Amino acid sequence: MKKRIVILFALIISSLMVNAQKEYRMNKSTGHLKLNLNGIVVEGYDGKEIIFSSKNTPAEEVDQRAKGLVAIAGSGFTDNTGIGINVKENGQDIIVNNIYSNNSDRLTIKVPKGMKVSFNNNSMQYYDDVTIKNINGEIEVSTRYNKIRLENNLGPMNINSINGSVDAIFTSEIKGPISIISIYDYVDVKLLTTTKGDIELATNYGKLYAAKEFAIAVEKTEAEKTINKPIATTTTTTTTITGSTGGTANNNKSLGNQTNNNLSQTLTFGYSYNDGEKIKGKLNGGGINMIFKSINNNVYLRHQ
């Protein structure tokens, strides 16, 4: 009985060791981190090293036949980190690539806060969520299907995704310009109500939602190819907004700060031309530039 317990214990401990995180460290605290991976979790921290850690390390079965040979992949990259990725330094740039395009490892990268981070994934098959937190440097994300989550970053940032949604939470004063665009999915942004900015919310076939706490002073621009002219009146503290709409849109003029423009449009064969909803205005007097667009879906602007 005792023997069995001891053996059990030994096995448990050894299994834990196998599941331990594998890491790859790089001594670099400034520059541009370019990620060409399937998905990623990037966390900014106050260190001076870039730490790549992988949670699911594949069981390393040593292939006897492959002894003395190097695994090569169609991507042209070789594993120089031990965690299934290739990291190459090129001046100020650190370029990270997958060895195998079907790599489903969930990597977490701890990055010094001031670094610039970019992420690119155009794969139609292999894509995973992208999370970027606590980065003070510039962020660029361009994905096809990946969902993007941004938390507590400083900006400036350029985010675009074709089919992925974008959730962004800003918890402090941000630096512009900030441009977040999704073609087919929603854009959800949480901002401090005290943010000073020139904000642009736009959608072609969706709706724009904003929290009541935001007082957007709309710029009266010329009617941009619309049938109904923009109707906006501003008082000192509150604004009533209706975006400029076209086609067969119903214009809901609401008193108060809520923008709630309804497009009575059905996506059937040959719907009427619709210029969509576009609101351009100033928050708290203006400041940094913010562009939040979703072409086919909604834009949500929440307050912090």
Partner 1 sequence: MNDQLKKFIDNNRDDFDDLEPSPEIFFRVKEELKEKNPEQKHTVSKIVFSQKWLVAASVIILLFTGYLVFKGDENIKIISEPQTVSNKKPETNVERNNQSETADQTIDQLAVSKKTVEKYKAKAFVNNEKKLDDMSAIYEQLTDSSSSSKRLAAILKIQQTGKISYDIIDKLAKTLDADNNNNVRLAALSLMGTYSEDSYISSKLINAIHTQKDPIVQLGLIELLRKADNPKLDDRLYALANDPNTFTAVKDQAYIVLLNQNKL
- Residues near partner 1 (CB under 8 A): 116, 138, 140, 142, 155-160, 162, 176-177, 179, 181, 183-184, 198, 204, 217, 219-225, 229, 269-271, 273, 282, 289, 291, 293, 295
117, 40 contact by CB (below 8 A) = no
Work out how close the CB of 222 gets to partner 1 at its nearest, in angstroms, rounded to a whole number: 4
Extract the tokens encoding 32: 């541009």
Minimum CB distance to partner 1 smaller for 129 or for 138: 138
Radius of gyration of the chain (CA): 24
Minimum CB distance to partner 1 smaller for 113 or for 220: 220
Minimum CB distance to partner 1 smaller for 2 or for 225: 225
What is the Cα–Cα distance from 273 to 286, expressed in whole angstroms?
Answer: 32
Minimum CB distance to partner 1 smaller for 156 or for 243: 156
301, 233 contact by CB (below 8 A) = no
What is the Cα–Cα distance from 23 to 103, expressed in whole angstroms?
Answer: 16
Extract the tokens encoding 5: 């317990």
Work out how close the CB of 30 gets to partner 1 at its nearest, in angstroms, rounded to a whole number: 13
Residues in the chain: 304
The CA-atom distances, in angstroms, between 229 and each of 16, 220, 244, 258 are 66, 10, 6, 19
Work out how close the CB of 156 gets to partner 1 at its nearest, in angstroms, rounded to a whole number: 4
Work out how close the CB of 119 gets to partner 1 at its nearest, in angstroms, rounded to a whole number: 12
Minimum CB distance to partner 1 smaller for 78 or for 92: 92
Work out how close the CB of 219 gets to partner 1 at its nearest, in angstroms, rounded to a whole number: 5
Extract the tokens encoding 90: 């090129």
**Nearest to 113, CA basis, from 92, 139, 131:** 139
What is the Cα–Cα distance from 56 to 145, expressed in whole angstroms?
Answer: 23
Minimum CB distance to partner 1 smaller for 97 or for 239: 239
